[in-house]
Amino acid sequence: MLIAGATVWYFRPANLYGPGIAITNYDQYLKDLPTDRRQAINAVLLSMANYNSTKPVSTANTAAIRQGSVAAKYNQITNVHSGTFIADIPALKQSYVIQYEWSSDSNNISLSDRTVVASCPKTEQTIYKSTTCKEMPEFNGEGEQ
C-alpha cells in the first residue's frame, strides 16, 4: 500500500493546469492567492506568451507583477475574491493584464466560467514598445490589437 501511494504522489503533476511561466513576486503583492490560482495564472500566462511569440516559449522564463498594477477586492456577500494585475515577462519583452477570481468554496456558484483570463495591456500600460500583442480568440473573440 505504501508503494502504491508513493507511486501516485510521484507521478502527480506539479501543476494541475500544465506548464507555466512562474511569477516570482506573488508573495509581495498577493500573499493570500491560493496555489491552484497561481498555477492557473502561470499556465494562462504561458499560453498567451506562446500565442504572441514566433517560436515556443520556455517555462524557464519568469514574470513579475508590475508595481502599482494590483487591484484586488473581496465580496463578502458572494465570498468571491477578484482582482487584476499586469505581469511583465522581461526576457520576452511582453506584458499581460491578468484577471482572476477565487473563493474558499470551490463549488461557489458566484464564480464566473473563466476564473483566470490574460489579455493584452492598453497602449498606456505597455512598457515594451516594440512588441505587438494579439488577444487569444477563445478569450474574447477579437484579433490583433
Q: Work out the number of other CB atoms within 10 angstroms of the CB of residue 1.
A: 5
Q: What CA–CA distance (Å, rounded) separates 70 from 73?
A: 10
Q: 15 lies in which domain range?
A: 2-140
Asked, for residue 46, whether it belongs to a domain, the answer is yes
Q: What CA–CA distance (Å, rounded) separates 44 from 139?
A: 11
Name the residue among 71, 95, 67 with its Cα closest to residue 81: 71
Asked, for residue 100, whether it belongs to a domain, the answer is yes
Task: State the pTM of this model.
Answer: 0.83
Q: What CA–CA distance (Å, rounded) separates 135 from 142?
A: 6
Measure the CA angle with vertex 108, ends 104 and 112; round to 5°: 110
Q: Is the dihedral of CA 90, 95, 97, 100 positive or negative?
A: negative
pLDDT confidence band for 38 (50 / 70 / 90): very high
The four Cα atoms 39, 45, 50, 53 give a dihedral, to 10 degrees, of -150
The C-alpha cell at 75 is: 465580496
The total number of structural domains that make up the chain: 1
Asked, for residue 145, whether it belongs to a domain, the answer is no
Q: What CA–CA distance (Å, rounded) separates 113 from 106?
A: 12
Asked, for residue 132, whether it belongs to a domain, the answer is yes
pLDDT in tens, 39-97: 999 999 999 999 999 999 998 999 999 999 999 999 999 999 999 999 999 999 999 99
Asked, for residue 10, whether it belongs to a domain, the answer is yes
Asked, for residue 22, whether it belongs to a domain, the answer is yes
pLDDT in tens, 90-115: 999 999 999 999 999 988 888 887 88
Q: What CA–CA distance (Å, rounded) separates 104 from 84?
A: 18
